[in-house]
C-alpha cells in the first residue's frame, strides 16, 4: 500500500496513513466576579505555569462539602452534596469531574454553570453525564490497571469561559423513602429524610483550556489525508497486493484479493497534526488488536454548543481530559466526526490499522470507536454527520473485509452488561449501548444506525 500512496498523495500522507502522526446565557442575576490578579489559578487548583498561549492546560479544583448540605462530623464522601461556589478561574472551554478510584461509581447528579468571557454572563445549570465505567480500557489491561487511571464523568464543552460553579449531589438509595430514611448521610440538612449513596472519594473539577489552533503547520506530517474515489481506493488495494507478492512491501489487511474488493471510497480524514494534538501528552507506545471486526458508534456527550470551526478545539479538550484527567494512554476514540461531517483521526497508531482504543468497556479488542461530537439523546444528529459515519465505516471495515450489514461474535472482557468470557452476537456497526448499559450514543443517533449500515454497504458496492 505504501508504494501506491507514495505516488498518489506523497510521502507525508503515507506516514499519516500507515504510521502514527506523531451559550446561551441566562438572565441570572449575579455579582460580577473579577478574575484573579495575573490570572492566577483559584486556591486549591493545580496549574502548569510553563504553558504557552497555544498549548493546552488543566486546572484541577478539589470539591468540598457545600455549606447547605454539610453533615456535622461526616467524612467528605458522606456529605449529601459537594461542589464549589461561584468563582473566577483561568480561561477554559471544557470541564469534567474525576475521582480517585476508577472502579467506583458516581451515583447522583453533577451540575455546573459557567461564565462566558465575552459577555460576562452566566449560563443556566447544565448536567454532566456521569459515564460510570462505560468508557475506558478493558479490565486486566495495562492501560486500565495504570495507577493514573481515575473515575470520570463525560466532559462538557462550554466554550470560552472564566468562571464556574458546580454541585454534585448523591442519589437516594433505592427504597429508602418507605423505610423512614435510615442510613448514612442522614444527619445533614437537605437530605429530606432519605438515605443517600456515598459519593466517590477525591472528587475534583477539571477545567481544560484546549489551547489555540496551531497557526504554523510547517514541518513533517500531513494535516489531512485526502479523499479517494472508489476506483482509486480499489487501485490502492491492488497496488498493495502487488507489493506484497514482489516483496516490495508488506501487505496489511487491505491487501488485494481475487474476489471483488468490497470497500467504500476513502473519505477525507483530518490527521492528529491537523487538529493540533500535542503528541507529548500521550503514551509513546501503541496498542493493536489482531484484526478489526466491528465498529461502535458513540456520541461524545460534550453538548451541542459548538460550531465546526471549534471542532479541533473540542477534540484537543477531550484528548487532554482523557489523558491528563482520566489517566488514559491517549484519546479513547479511534475516530471522531463533527456535525459538519468532518472526520478526524483519534487514537494514534495509523488510521488503516486495528488500533486498540478505550471507547467501549469490555469490547475494545478487535473493534473501533467512532464518536460523533455532541449529545444526541434529544437532538437529531445532522445528515452530514451520519453520512460521514457511513463513509468512514464503509472504508475502514472494507479494509478488513467486514460487511457493515453483517453480524459478528465478540468476547467480553467484562463490561457490566456481559460477564468476562461471554460470547456476544453484535452488529458489525453497533451502538455503545449494545455492549454496555448506557444511553450512548443517544436515542436519536442510535435510531440512525440501521440506515448507516445499509448506506455503508452501498458505498462498499454490496
SS (H, E, C) the chain: CHHHHHHHCCHHHHHHHHCCCCCCCCCCCCCCCCCCHHHCCCCCCCCCCCCCCCCCEEEEEECEECHHHCCCCCCHHHCCEEEEEEEEEEEEEEEEEEECCCCCCCCEEEEEEEEECCCCCECCCEECCCCCCCCCCCCCCHHHHCCCCCEECCCEEEEEEEEEEEEEEECECCCHHHHCCCCCCCCCCCCCCCCECCCCCCCEEEEEECCCCCCCCCCCCCCEECCCCHHHHHHHHHHHHHHHHHCCCCCCCCCCCCCCCCCCCCCCEECHHHHCCCCCCCCCCCCECCCCCEEEEEECCCCCCCCHHHHHHHHHHHHHHHHHHCCCCCCCCCEEECCCCCEEECCCCCCCCCECCCCCCCCCCCEEEEEECCCCCCCCCCHHHHHHHHHHHHHHHHHCCCCCCCEEEEECCCCCCCCCCCEEEEECEEEHHHCCCCCCCCHHHHCCHHHHHHHHHHHCCC
pTM of model > 0.85: no
Using alpha carbons only, what angle is made at residue 380 by residues 377 and 385, rounded to the nearest 5 degrees?
115
Let me know: does 43 contact 183? Beta carbons within 8 Å.
no
Euclidean distance between CA atoms 366 and 413, whole angstroms: 12
Determine the pLDDT at residue 195.
62
Residue 16 is placed in which grid cell?
499519516
Provide CB contacts within 8 A for 143, sequence distance 6+: 137, 149, 287, 328, 329, 358
φ and ψ of 96, to 5 deg: -170, 175
Which pLDDT belongs to residue 215?
A: 64
- Residue intervals of the chain classified under CATH 3.40.80.10 are 2-21+214-459
pLDDT, one tens digit for every residue, the chain (462 residues):
333 333 333 333 433 454 333 333 333 333 333 333 333 334 344 433 333 345 899 999 999 998 765 555 555 556 679 999 999 999 999 999 999 999 898 999 999 999 999 999 999 999 999 875 667 777 778 888 888 899 999 999 999 999 999 999 998 866 544 333 333 333 344 444 556 678 999 999 999 999 988 765 444 568 999 999 999 999 988 766 555 554 444 444 444 444 678 999 999 999 999 999 999 999 999 999 999 999 999 999 999 999 999 999 999 999 999 999 999 999 999 999 999 999 999 999 999 999 999 999 889 999 999 999 999 999 999 999 999 999 999 999 999 999 999 999 999 988 778 888 999 999 999 999 999 888 999 999 999 999 999 999 999 999
Q: Give whole-number Cα distances, 326 to 46, 101, 318, 394, in Å.
A: 15, 10, 10, 31
Bridge partners of residue 152, in order along the sequence: 98
* Whether the Cβ atoms of residue 322 and residue 316 lie closer than 8 Å to each other: no
| 2-21+214-459 CATH fold | Lysozyme-like (3.40.80)
CA distances from 288 to 9, 227, 355, 356, 410 (A): 25, 25, 4, 5, 16
Kindly report whether the peptide bond that precedes residue 157 is cis, defined as omega within 30 degrees of 0: no
Amino acid at each position: 500500500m505504501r508504494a501506491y500512496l507514495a505516488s498518489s498523495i506523497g510521502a507525508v500522507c503515507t506516514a499519516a496513513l500507515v504510521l502514527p502522526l506523531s451559550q446561551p446565557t441566562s438572565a441570572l442575576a449575579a455579582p460580577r466576579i473579577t478574575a484573579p490578579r495575573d490570572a492566577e489559578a483559584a486556591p486549591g487548583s493545580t496549574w502548569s505555569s510553563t504553558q504557552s498561549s497555544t498549548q493546552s492546560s488543566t486546572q484541577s479544583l478539589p470539591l468540598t462539602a457545600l455549606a447547605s448540605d454539610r453533615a456535622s462530623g461526616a467524612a467528605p464522601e458522606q456529605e449529601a452534596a459537594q461542589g464549589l461556589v461561584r468563582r473566577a478561574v483561568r480561561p477554559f472551554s471544557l470541564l469534567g469531574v474525576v475521582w480517585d478510584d476508577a472502579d467506583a461509581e458516581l451515583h447522583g447528579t453533577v451540575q455546573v454553570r459557567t461564565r462566558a468571557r465575552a459577555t460576562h454572563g452566566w449560563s443556566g445549570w447544565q448536567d454532566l453525564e456521569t459515564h460510570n465505567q462505560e468508557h475506558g480500557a478493558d479490565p486486566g489491561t495495562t492501560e486500565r490497571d495504570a495507577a493514573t487511571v481515575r473515575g470520570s464523568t463525560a466532559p462538557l464543552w462550554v466554550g470560552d469561559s472564566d468562571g464556574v460553579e458546580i454541585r454534585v449531589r448523591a442519589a437516594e438509595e433505592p427504597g429508602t423513602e418507605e423505610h423512614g430514611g435510615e442510613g448514612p448521610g442522614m444527619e445533614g440538612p437537605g437530605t429530606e429524610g432519605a438515605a443517600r449513596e456515598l459519593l466517590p472519594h477525591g472528587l475534583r473539577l477539571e477545567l481544560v483550556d484546549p489551547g489555540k489552533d496551531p497557526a504554523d503547520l510547517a514541518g513533517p506530517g500531513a494535516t489531512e489525508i485526502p479523499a479517494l474515489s472508489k476506483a482509486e481506493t480499489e487501485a490502492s488495494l491492488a497496488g498493495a497486493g502487488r507489493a506484497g507478492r514482489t516483496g516490495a512491501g508488506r501487505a496489511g489487511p487491505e491487501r488485494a484479493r481475487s474476489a471483488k474488493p468490497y470497500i467504500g471510497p476513502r473519505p477525507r480524514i483530518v490527521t492528529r497534526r491537523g487538529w493540533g494534538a500535542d503528541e507529548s501528552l500521550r503514551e509513546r507506545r501503541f496498542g493493536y488488536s489482531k484484526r478489526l471486526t466491528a465498529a461502535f458508534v458513540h456520541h461524545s456527550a460534550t453538548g451541542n454548543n459548538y460550531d465546526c470551526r471549534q471542532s479541533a478545539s473540542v477534540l484537543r479538550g477531550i484528548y487532554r481530559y482523557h489523558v491528563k484527567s482520566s489517566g488514559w494512554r491517549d484519546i479513547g476514540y479511534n475516530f471522531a466526526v463533527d456535525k459538519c461531517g468532518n472526520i478526524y483521526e483519534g487514537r494514534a497508531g495509523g488510521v488503516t490499522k486495528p488500533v486498540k482504543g478505550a471507547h467501549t468497556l469490555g469490547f475494545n479488542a478487535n473493534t473501533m470507536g467512532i464518536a460523533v461530537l455532541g449529545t444526541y439523546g434529544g437532538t437529531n444528529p445532522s445528515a452530514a454527520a451520519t453520512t460521514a459515519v457511513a463513509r468512514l465505516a464503509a472504508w475502514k471495515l472494507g479494509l478488513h473485509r467486514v460487511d457493515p450489514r453483517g453480524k459478528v461474535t465478540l468476547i467480553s472482557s467484562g463490561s457490566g452488561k456481559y460477564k468476562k468470557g461471554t460470547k456476544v452476537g453484535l452488529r458489525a456497526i453497533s451502538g455503545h449501548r449494545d455492549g454496555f448499559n448506557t444511553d450512548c450514543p443517544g436515542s436519536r443517533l442510535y435510531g440512525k444506525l440501521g440506515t448507516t449500515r445499509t448506506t455503508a454497504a452501498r458505498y462498499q458496492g454490496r
